[in-house]
Amino acid sequence: MTPFAQGITDLLSFGTVVLDVAAVALFVILITPLKRRGVTREIADFVGERAILLAFLTALVATGGSLLYSNIIGFPPCDLCWWQRIFLYPQTILFFTALLKKDEGMRFHAFILSSLGALVALYHTFIQFGGASVLPCAATGPSCTALYFLEYGYVTIPTMSLTIFALILILMAAPNPGKRDLKEL
């Protein structure tokens, strides 16, 4: 791996670890009752108000990273990577459009796309770490089990993808306090 590729991998791998911690913390905050006051309520409200923006930035950086790895660094995407891209790339446009139109209604579409993408990424991660493949990998092209790198003992391209989809799912589940029903308060 070239120094440039290693630098990008180091940066994106560290970012993945940070996002994993943030996603777990946010998930815990969101499943706790919102009737409480304090920092957790403030965090939940902050994220809920900005969920579309945060998801847009997440999808944008992930799309850029994906294109960087395949088109500049030279890691050819396998069939499962292509499926994950199919579920990720449109979300960048969906979130951008939602930001422009101030439309919260597209959360459902993003939730579906991220759920499907997360399933593919989870399966891809499973077979990369030695699980038995249920589906045959393509006869031509890169192998779905190829490890281009392994950072922090678990970060690979499919685990990066899984992190992104999981974070978008959590963000889409975060209630927007401006849209919350008064009975919840």
* Euclidean distance between CA atoms 109 and 93, whole angstroms: 12
DSSP secondary structure of 83-147? HHHHHHHHHHHHHHHHHHHT--TTHHHHHHHHHHHHHHHHHHHHHHTTPPPSSPPPSSS--TT--
Q: For residue 139, give its domain range.
A: 3-176
**Is residue 75 situated within a structural domain?**
yes
Domain CATH for 21? 1.20.1550
Beta bridge partners of 155: 151
- The whole-chain average pLDDT of the chain stands at 88
User: What are the tens digits of pLDDT across the range 127-139?
Assistant: 988 887 776 665 5
**Is residue 185 situated within a structural domain?**
no
* pLDDT for res 182: 34
The predicted model scores a pTM of 0.89
C-alpha separations of 61 from 47, 77, 176 in Å: 18, 17, 23
The conformation of residue 182, written as its DSSP 8-state character, comes to G
Q: How many domains does the chain have?
A: 1
pLDDT at position 23 over 50: yes
